[in-house]
Amino acid sequence: MVSANETALGKITAAELSYGHSSGKVENKTEFIGALTSGRSDFVTITLKEQTIQLTGSIAIVRHKLFAETFNDGVDGTTSLGILLIWQKQKNEWKLLARQAYKL
Protein backbone atom coordinates (compact mmCIF):
# COMPACT_ATOMS: atom_id res chain seq x y z
CA MET A 1 0.00 0.00 0.00
CA VAL A 2 2.89 2.38 0.66
CA SER A 3 4.40 1.80 -2.80
CA ALA A 4 0.92 1.70 -4.43
CA ASN A 5 2.13 -0.85 -6.98
CA GLU A 6 -0.90 -1.66 -9.14
CA THR A 7 0.38 -5.10 -10.20
CA ALA A 8 1.22 -6.16 -6.64
CA LEU A 9 -2.11 -4.90 -5.27
CA GLY A 10 -3.98 -6.70 -8.03
CA LYS A 11 -2.19 -9.95 -7.26
CA ILE A 12 -3.08 -10.00 -3.54
CA THR A 13 -6.72 -8.88 -3.80
CA ALA A 14 -9.69 -11.07 -4.68
CA ALA A 15 -11.91 -10.12 -7.61
CA GLU A 16 -14.79 -9.96 -5.09
CA LEU A 17 -12.97 -7.56 -2.73
CA SER A 18 -15.10 -5.53 -0.31
CA TYR A 19 -12.86 -2.83 1.21
CA GLY A 20 -14.55 -0.91 4.02
CA HIS A 21 -13.22 2.37 5.37
CA SER A 22 -13.76 3.77 8.86
CA SER A 23 -15.98 6.45 7.29
CA GLY A 24 -18.42 3.80 6.09
CA LYS A 25 -17.34 4.05 2.44
CA VAL A 26 -16.97 0.65 0.74
CA GLU A 27 -14.85 0.09 -2.36
CA ASN A 28 -14.54 -2.81 -4.78
CA LYS A 29 -11.18 -4.03 -6.10
CA THR A 30 -10.97 -1.52 -8.93
CA GLU A 31 -11.90 1.42 -6.69
CA PHE A 32 -9.47 0.35 -3.93
CA ILE A 33 -6.51 0.02 -6.30
CA GLY A 34 -7.48 3.20 -8.17
CA ALA A 35 -7.55 5.27 -4.96
CA LEU A 36 -4.03 4.14 -4.04
CA THR A 37 -2.45 4.46 -7.48
CA SER A 38 -4.01 7.91 -8.13
CA GLY A 39 -2.80 9.41 -4.84
CA ARG A 40 -6.32 10.04 -3.51
CA SER A 41 -5.36 7.61 -0.76
CA ASP A 42 -1.61 7.85 -0.18
CA PHE A 43 0.10 6.03 2.69
CA VAL A 44 3.56 7.44 3.43
CA THR A 45 4.23 5.05 6.33
CA ILE A 46 2.27 2.22 7.93
CA THR A 47 2.94 0.62 11.30
CA LEU A 48 0.93 -2.43 12.40
CA LYS A 49 0.59 -3.42 16.05
CA GLU A 50 -1.13 -6.14 18.06
CA GLN A 51 -1.77 -8.38 15.04
CA THR A 52 -3.62 -11.66 15.50
CA ILE A 53 -4.27 -14.32 12.85
CA GLN A 54 -6.89 -17.05 13.14
CA LEU A 55 -6.90 -19.75 10.45
CA THR A 56 -10.12 -21.62 9.65
CA GLY A 57 -9.74 -23.85 6.60
CA SER A 58 -9.16 -21.64 3.56
CA ILE A 59 -9.98 -18.46 5.51
CA ALA A 60 -7.67 -16.30 7.63
CA ILE A 61 -9.14 -13.71 10.00
CA VAL A 62 -6.55 -11.02 10.68
CA ARG A 63 -6.94 -8.18 13.17
CA HIS A 64 -4.48 -5.40 13.95
CA LYS A 65 -4.10 -1.76 14.80
CA LEU A 66 -2.82 0.43 11.96
CA PHE A 67 -0.99 3.71 12.50
CA ALA A 68 -0.07 5.68 9.40
CA GLU A 69 1.21 8.93 8.00
CA THR A 70 -0.81 9.89 4.93
CA PHE A 71 -0.70 12.36 2.06
CA ASN A 72 -4.27 12.03 0.75
CA ASP A 73 -5.07 14.35 -2.16
CA GLY A 74 -1.89 16.30 -1.35
CA VAL A 75 -2.73 16.89 2.33
CA ASP A 76 -0.51 15.59 5.16
CA GLY A 77 -2.28 13.61 7.86
CA THR A 78 -2.17 10.74 10.30
CA THR A 79 -4.58 7.94 11.03
CA SER A 80 -5.10 5.38 13.79
CA LEU A 81 -7.41 2.51 12.90
CA GLY A 82 -8.51 -0.89 14.03
CA ILE A 83 -8.59 -3.30 11.08
CA LEU A 84 -10.35 -6.58 10.36
CA LEU A 85 -9.12 -8.45 7.26
CA ILE A 86 -10.56 -11.60 5.73
CA TRP A 87 -8.10 -13.49 3.54
CA GLN A 88 -9.14 -16.48 1.43
CA LYS A 89 -6.86 -19.10 -0.08
CA GLN A 90 -7.67 -19.25 -3.79
CA LYS A 91 -5.68 -21.67 -5.97
CA ASN A 92 -2.87 -21.86 -3.36
CA GLU A 93 -2.57 -18.05 -3.05
CA TRP A 94 -3.90 -15.87 -0.23
CA LYS A 95 -6.20 -13.11 -1.51
CA LEU A 96 -7.69 -10.23 0.45
CA LEU A 97 -11.45 -10.80 0.28
CA ALA A 98 -12.72 -8.21 2.77
CA ARG A 99 -11.45 -5.42 4.98
CA GLN A 100 -13.23 -3.24 7.52
CA ALA A 101 -11.66 -0.39 9.46
CA TYR A 102 -12.84 1.48 12.52
CA LYS A 103 -11.47 4.57 14.24
CA LEU A 104 -9.45 4.03 17.40
CATH number of 88's domain: 3.10.450.50
Residue 16 lies in a domain: yes
Tens-of-pLDDT digits for all 104 residues of the chain? 888 899 999 999 999 999 999 999 999 999 999 999 987 888 999 999 999 999 999 999 999 999 999 998 889 999 999 999 999 999 999 999 999 999 99
Burial label for 49, CB within 10 Å (0-12, 13-18, 19+), is: exposed
| Dihedral of alpha carbons 48, 49, 55, 61, sign | negative
Total number of domains constituting the chain:
1
Residue 36 structural domain: 6-103
Rounded to two decimals, the pTM is: 0.90
Residue 79 lies in a domain: yes
Contact (CB, 8 A) for 55 and 25: no
Residue 1 lies in a domain: no
